Each structure stands twice: as C-alpha cells, then as structure tokens.
Amino acid sequence: MRKIYLCVAALYLGIVASHAQTKALPVKDSSNYQARKLKIDEINIISAYYHQDGNNSAVTGGIGTEKLTDFANTFDLQLSKYGIGGNKHTFTFELGVDHYTSASSDKIDPYSISSASRQDTRVYPSLNWTVSNDKTGNAFGLTGSYSHEFDYQSFGGGINLTRVSKDKNTQFDFKGQVFLDTWKVILPVELRPPGYGSGSERDGRGNVDHSPRNSFSTSFSISQVLTTRLQALFIIEPSYQHGLLATKYQRDYFTDGSERVENLPGSRYKLPIAVRFNYFLDDHFVIRTFYRYYMDNWGIRAHTAELEIPIKLTSFVSVSPYYRYNNQKGTRYFAPYGQHDPTAVYYTSDYDLSTLHSNFVGANIRLSPPTGVFGWQHFNSLEIRAGHYMRSTGLNSNIVTLAMKFK
C-alpha cells in the first residue's frame, strides 16, 4: 500500500448555506444590480501514469522490491454566479480516482489471496465554495471532501482566505485544513496475534484494530510584485499530526536477530518554509526559481531547489523544461535492514525517512490556440508533462501527465 497524504474535508453547513444562495431568484438591489444564474466557468480533466522501481521496501524491512504503478484521474468542474452585491460565488467540484498495484504490499501476507492491498482503488471527491470580489481581489472559501481506500477512510474540512492590497501589488493568502483519518491496523502475517485478521473481508479474516490519525495544517503566503519583471512569493506551512503515524505492516529487523513492526512517535510537527521568484525576461522567456527548507521534530532536515524556464515558441505553444534537487538528512529513528538497536523505543526502515538526495528532471508542453485545440473553441488548452526521478537509495520513477482544460 502506498503512503498517500489525503486532502480531505467536510464543512457541510457552510457549503449547504452557500449552495442555497445559488437557488435564489434574481432580484435587484438598491444599485439595480441583477443577480446572474449559475454557469460553467471551466472543466479540467487530468490523467497521470506513474511507475517506480527500487530495492528498499519498508514492508520487508528495507530490502526487497519497491515496484509500484499508479493510474490517477481527476475531473474538475468549476461553476460560478454573481450574487446580490456583486460578489462572485465559485463552486468547484472535484472527483479523483486512482488505481494502483504494489509488489511490496504483496509481502504483507504472501500466503493470502487478498494480500492486503497489493492493488486497490482510491476514490476522493471534494467540493469548494469561494466568494470573491472582482474589484478588490479579496476572497473567502470553504472546502469539504472525503477519501476512501482499502485500509482507511478520511474526513475533514478546510478554509481559505485571500487579501489583496489596493495597488494590487501585494497579496496575502491563508489556508487551514484538518484531516481526520481512521485506518486499519494491518500487521505482517508472522507477527499477528492468535485470531488477528488480515484486514480483508474477501478472505473472511477482516477483523483488525482501527486507529485514528489526525492532521492539522496551515499555510501562510505573501506574494509581492517587486518590479515590472520580478515577482516574489514567501510561504510558511506549519502542520501537526497526532495518532498512529507508524505503518504497522512494515517490518523492522534488529542486531539480535529479532523482528518487530514499525514503531514511531504518536505526534509530529512539520515546518516547511519556501520562497519563489519569477522573472519575466521578455515576451518569450520566464525564469521560475523555488527553494524550500523543511524541518520536523523527528530530526528530518531537507533542502529543495527547483528551476523551471517556460519558453514561448509561438503565441499558443510553450515548452517548460524543469529540474528539482533535494537533499535530506534522515530521521534519528531510521536504520537499514538488521541494524536496529534492540533497546530502541522507536524504529523504522522506511527509506523515505532516511538520509538521501534526489534529482527530478522533465518538461511540460502546452498548447493553447486562440481557435481552440484541434479547432474546438471550448477546448482551451492541452498540456503534456513528463518527468524522471532518481534517488540515491536506488529508487527510480517516471511519470507522464495529460491535462485538458475546457472553457
């Protein structure tokens, strides 16, 4: 099973209240403003294929295949209407469906025909409501969504706020989200107590424990137009997790020959701080740079730098090569296969948490002809993005993404 961090939300009352406004009959206010009907702004369809391979699976204690494939699809529908007073109400519905296969997950219970999520499908709908003012640029919104997979389900809520200066050169954005997860405590087959199930209903042994994992995240960002060519963005994103943060079907092996399930602290603080600069060289070139520093209370420290240079070949064709480098100091709880201290309280052999460096290189091609893609006026743009990822631990992956926008 993959580790997928889900953006899940559910502020039902706020969404219902805003939806009720869309049903109001057009009326005139004191300024003779006519409310408009709900209309479609745009539709986005995104499909991505991802494949990875390596030899440091955490399921088998830091050794073994990491082969995984994922086919992800997202459908995004954006509708809007102007309400009384001139504020714009935007409703965005998104439906995501991922299907993946994981060779390492098959090692949780190699003797079971179900083998706990060696392949699975994740479904995650969401709904966002944002009210904004076209004149000031200020906005406020709520988000709600749900996600379900073999071993968990998740609910939560989100809020977003935008404030723009009078001269339009400075913008402040705030986002707050809560993720309330419940997931099955699946154990490796040889470490299950008598009578403990596999987690699968298909083999009649679905009886397992369930544990919560709650996540709270915020994002504060300020963007500033520095000159006619240079723009800057500063972001800080503190977050906190609490609950079962260890993945209990991942094994750890110790210097005395013993074997246990992964054990990590029940809380985690994260603090990423990032800055982005966009420089508009001329009508054909933009230089985009990005740097992020990450730290948490598990001892992980990481630096990420990215460079992207969109090149406008014609008025409707652009190519954007990009490169990203990451250097990470791993958590103090990590040790490779068979090297954990038997007296340790917390331990993991998950190489995602180890000391490593990685490179990611790729390019994006975008078509946006004025007459529409393939002559279809409403087919606004077509993008194809491909990338290759290389990690010092031996993990390699490829991803291809197709994005279509209709307006």
382-391: pLDDT as tens digits = 999 999 999 9
What's the angle, vertex CA 62, arms to CA 58 and CA 68, rounded to 5?
A: 50
Chain centroid to CA 221: 18
| pLDDT (0 to 100) of residue 17 | 32
Question: 96: left (phi > 0), else alpha (psi -120 to 50), else beta?
Answer: beta
Side-chain-side CA neighbours of residue 305 (13 Å): 3
pLDDT over 70 at 20, yes or no:
no
Chain centroid to CA 55: 25
| pLDDT (0 to 100) of residue 104 | 77
Per DSSP, the residues of 207-240 read ---EEEEEEEEEEEEEEEE-SSSEEEEEEE--EE
Confidence of residue 13 (pLDDT cuts 50, 70, 90): very low
Any idea which residue has 């090692």 for tokens? 107
pLDDT digits (tens, 9 = 90+) for 175-211: 999 999 999 999 999 999 998 887 776 554 568 899 9
What is the pTM assigned to this prediction?
0.86
Any idea which residue has 């076209």 for tokens? 134
pLDDT over 90 at 307, yes or no:
yes
CA-based nearest residue to 248, from 186, 298, 294, 305? 186
Measured between alpha carbons, how far is 232 from 234 in angstroms, rounded to an integer?
7
Measured between alpha carbons, how far is 16 from 7 in angstroms, rounded to an integer?
20
Mean pLDDT of 269-285: 96
CA-based nearest residue to 8, from 143, 208, 187? 143
Any idea which residue has 């060519």 for tokens? 229
Q: What is the dihedral of CA 130, 133, 138, 142, to 10 degrees?
A: -10
Residue 343: partners with Cβ closer than 8 Å, 6 or more residues away:
none
Which tokens sit at 237? 């994103």
pLDDT digits (tens, 9 = 90+) for 284-300: 999 999 999 999 999 99
| pLDDT (0 to 100) of residue 14 | 35
The residue type of 174 is F
Show me where the domains of the chain are located.
Answer: 38-406
| pLDDT (0 to 100) of residue 86 | 85
Beta carbons of 106 and 116 less than 8 angstroms apart: no
Measured between alpha carbons, how far is 347 from 329 in angstroms, rounded to an integer?
16
Minimum mean pLDDT range among 72-86, 214-228, 253-267: 72-86
Mean pLDDT of 154-167: 97
| Architecture of the domain defined by 38-406 | Beta Barrel (2.40)
Question: 249: left (phi > 0), else alpha (psi -120 to 50), else beta?
Answer: alpha
Measured between alpha carbons, how far is 359 from 391 in angstroms, rounded to an integer?
6
Measured between alpha carbons, how far is 83 from 36 in angstroms, rounded to an integer?
7
